[in-house]
Structure 1
Amino acid sequence: MILRRLEALPVGRFHYKLLGVTGLGWLFDSMDTGLIAFILPVLAKEWQLAPGQMGLIGSMGLIGMALGAVVSGTLADYWGRKRIFTVTVLLYSVATGLCALAWDYTSLLVFRFLVGFGLGGELPVAVTLVTEYAPAKVRGRFIVLLESFWALGWIAAACIAYLLIPVYGWRFAFAIGALPALYVFLIRLHMPESVRYLLSKGKTEEANRIVSGLEAQMGLSGQSADTEPDTVPEAEPVSVLTLWRKPFLVRTIMLWLVWFGIIFSYYGIFMWLPSLVFKQGFTVVKTFEYVLVMTLAQLPGYFCAAWLVDRMGRKYTLSVFLLCSGIASYFFGHAATAAALMGWGAVMSFFNLGAWGVLYTYTPELYPTSIRALGSGWAAGVGRFGGMAAPVLVGMMLSGGMSIGSVFYMFAFVFIAVSAVVMGLGMESKQQNLESLSQHSRG
């Protein structure tokens, strides 16, 4: 069988190249998200923006991300992972460049929506593609490592903010964010279409050609005659309602709740992080330094999650990391000194981004090939509603005279609640075959 041959391929140059190519897309996405967080305090001062207006800039990108995730996830199950990935990367690159030309508050909101649409569409499609190529024994590690590129993007954004924004201004930072448009050529050269997707569409010859080529690259021979694709039947028409039928009902409820909670907390905290630190009395440049240190803590968080996810499992690793994120966010919001602020911020980054990596591993594993991108896109899209609400809600809380400590009480509660949801409703999926796992009778 073609899928058996695909799973039997040893982890090698192809898998790491695919990880690198999709990871670059992840890095660029993250860099854009980071840039707007660092630009907001500068922009607020230049344009005299109220906290509510600042929150709306962050939320507008999240509205675009929600729609982008849903639309792109749905289209990727019909038109292919590679094609949708390419289009979404191009869209958010061009739109980020347009942000550099924004002439007023309204035009910036429109461009941020377009950026979000492309960014939100790219992420679930990329993770679906890597999930469908990574062998079961290392799939969890690969997806968490893919997610680790997010930290590199934030580090790049912090460096741009620290080195360039004070000298050249915020428009120059957005202009740099347009450079990923050139990356589209790399995608077309080095990223194959998903074999599982091709088989689900009855394109057996193309799928066999890709697998045979990979076998030839790895010095394997004599297997190409085995082309029977009976483990992935041709896809039937599906809709979002499929996600709400057995055997997917409970897992859809679990994923939507967890995605909502983690995105609500992440964007509520990190979109406002430079501004919140600035509110504590630090200068803008000093803010960038502090946030850069806290962002660096994301990398060991990813690597720790990558090590645990194929050993302790998806369910337990995700639940523990979410719980620890809640504890750390509480102490971060109540830090009384600069050292405590930076220390608890680093701990919060460690566990929060590690949890993200596990969630991106977990989500596509719970759906079959015919609805994998659809399920992943809808989970991420629903989650973005949390991201839309959080920046505006934080702005309203601060405008209403509530303390930063009160804001972080809220985030700590949300993290702990979604940790309990994973423990109560989640199923374990480590090192299991995607085809048998997606039809698991529970949930």
Structure 2
Amino acid sequence: MFTWYSRLDGTEKRTLYACFGGWAVDALDTQLYSFLIPTLIAAWHMTRAEAGLLGTSALISSAAGGWLAGILCDRIGRVRVMKLAIAWFVGFTVLSGFCNSFGELLGARILSGIGFGGEWAAGSVLMGEIIRPEYRGKAVGTVQSAYAIGYALAALMSSALFATLPDATAWRWMFWLGAAPALFVFLALRGVPEPQVFLSAKRARALTGEANVSPFMIFHPRFLRVTVLTSLLALGVQAGGFSIIIWLPTFLKTARDISTVAVGYHMFVLTVGSFAGYISAAYFCDAVGRRRNFVLFALLNWLAIPAFLYLPQAAGLMYALDFVLGFAALGIYSALGPYFTELFPSSIRGNGQGFSYNFGRGVGAFFPTVVGILSGGGLLPLRDAMGMTAVSAYLFVFLAISLLPETKGRDLNEVPDGGLDQTDDEPVRFRNLAQVRD
């Protein structure tokens, strides 16, 4: 099953290790807040809408951070930006543990979001460019499974800390310990070079006076269709996940009447399911193609989400549904990285991926707030609000996939600065970006 891994060269393996660690830290930092919502609501007397805003604010700022990081990736390099992004979000995660009010934590989470949005943008394009085409889906999807490791660490930390420390102290240690794994990432990144396809394309553009491409080139008519559709795809994937995952601990604790410690166990099972989903999607997207993979997982979410929310809560069934929900809602992420890498040309690849993924993250971040408003204002029970917003989000996935081309096996070296021919979906060659503008 993993024979492809043994065929990777040293550079490919070092890149995989570094990005795996970076995305695990990203996931740990992102997910730990969901475990703290009930505690912070009680400690600071927040409303559900305010609690949703704390989660949403970091996701919105990550959209800006991801686009900025993508632009910088195309200018100063993928590895350098990834290091800067990790240092940034880890620093503000530590700061979050020292906050004493809703306003302070809101500011810290907004600043933290800038960093973890940038980390995905840099790591995704780095992996996509270094890993060879035949293993790109598997490798990037395997790295995406690091999110499951981060989620599992967050769940275990939550159960352990809230079982041994007072709630008023435990939530602070959640933030502080969440920054610790970043040391591994910095050590791993020391041996990772900039991708050769990026360096070669940058040198070629420099010879024609196009070394630094405008950040708005992704909105040029030649590329706008791909930018819009990848943004909608990212929106559907992430809005669906956010609507469920961010509110899941609160749903289990209030609607299912489960203790904080037991919630951690359920989230751990969900995380195991997400790991299986990430790996499965990584293989599916190389086996059946990127587009079919998204369709399969979107359909599975339409089945898994209502089942999780409305079926009887017998203990054994709940754990089985935890696994299936994690498999579907998070496994669908795996194909985003390789698909976006293959859709954008080299000169705007970091920019395009950073914008599209984080547009989806930023706009999708409003979906948890909608859940909070609908359920907190008495309009709907929490389960109905979660189900309605999550299921509707996957309509964006179907829309985008119906209009985007298949890119399985695309060689990134073939067209460093070209575009996609929207009539036959084959790469088009340009000597430089001046021809695109003409």
TM-score > 0.5 by shorter chain: yes
CA deviation after TM superposition for structure 1 residue 191, in Å: 1.6
- Within a 5 Å distance, the mapping from 1:381-396 to structure 2 comes to 381-396=358-373
Counterpart residue number, 1:40: 37
1:351 aligns with 2:328: yes
Cα-to-partner distance string for 1:154-206 (whole Å, 9 max, x where unaligned): 0011010111233231111111122244345414522211222222221xxxx
Q: 1:358 to 1:181 in 2, by over 3 A?
A: closer
1:186 and 2:187 equivalent? yes
| Alignment-mate amino acid for residue 332 of structure 1 | F
* d(CA) in 2 for partners of 1:185, 1:261: 32
CA displacement, residues 77-131 of structure 1 (integer Å, 9 cap, x when unaligned): 1111111111110011111111111121111111111111100001011010111
Q: Distance in 1 between matches of 2:233 and 2:189?
A: 33
1:328 corresponds to which of 304, 309, 317: 304
Could you tell me whether the CA contact under 8 Å between 2:367 and 2:389 is conserved in 1? no
**Letter in structure 1 aligned against 2:340:** T
Show the 5 A alignment for 1:156-305.
Answer: 156-168=153-165, 169-183=170-184, 185-202=186-203, 235-280=210-255, 281-305=257-281
The residue that corresponds to 1:96 in the other structure is 93
1:361-400 matched pairs, under 5 angstroms? 361-400=338-377
Aligned to 2:404: 426
Structure 1 counterpart of 2:295, from 305, 319, 326 = 319
Deviation at 1:240, TM superposition (A): 4.5
Kindly tell me the number of residue pairs found equivalent between the two proteins. Answer: 407
Q: In the aligned structure 1, how far is the partner of 2:325 from the partner of 2:252?
A: 14
Q: 1:200–1:235: 8 Å Cα contact kept in structure 2?
A: no
Matched, 1:152 2:149: yes
Q: Taking every aligned residue pair, what percent have the same amino acid on both sides? A: 28
Counterpart CA distance in 2 for 1:279 and 1:375 is 40
Q: Which sections of structure 1, spanning at least 5 residues, go unmatched?
A: 1-8, 203-228
Matched residue SS, 1:297: helix
Match of 1:409 among 388, 396, 418: 388
CA RMSD of aligned residues (A): 2.1
Within a 5 Å distance, the mapping from 1:8-19 to structure 2 comes to 11-19=8-16
- Name the SS of the counterpart of 2:287 in structure 1: coil
One-letter amino acid of the structure 2 residue matched with residue 97 of structure 1: V
Normalised to the residue count of structure 2, the TM-score between the two structures is: 0.88
- Runs of 4+ residues over 6 Å off in structure 1: none
Q: Which residue of 2 aligns with 1:226?
A: none
C-alpha separation between the residues in 2 aligned to 1:389 and 1:338? 32
| Unaligned residue ranges in structure 2 (runs of 5+) | 1-5, 426-438
Q: Deviations over 1:219-273 (max 9, x none)?
A: xxxxxxxxxx79x987454335422335423222211111112221211211111
SS of 2:365's equivalent in the other structure is helix
Q: Distance in 2 between matches of 1:69 and 1:181?
A: 19
- Is the CA contact 1:322–1:418 (under 8 Å) kept in the aligned structure 2? no
Superposition deviation, residue 286 in structure 1: 1.3
In structure 2, do the counterparts of structure 1 residues 436 and 319 end up closer, same or farther at CA, with 3 Å as the change threshold?
farther
In the alignment, what sits opposite 1:224? none
Separation of aligned partners in 2, 1:410 and 1:345: 19
Match for residue 74 of structure 1? Answer: 71
Give yes or no for contact 1:323–1:419 (8 Å, CA) kept in 2. no
Q: Separation in 2 of the partners of 1:15 and 1:62? A: 30
Change (3 A) 1:188 1:342: closer
CA shift, 1:363, in A, is: 1.0
Distance in 1 of aligned mates of 2:369 and 2:26:
22
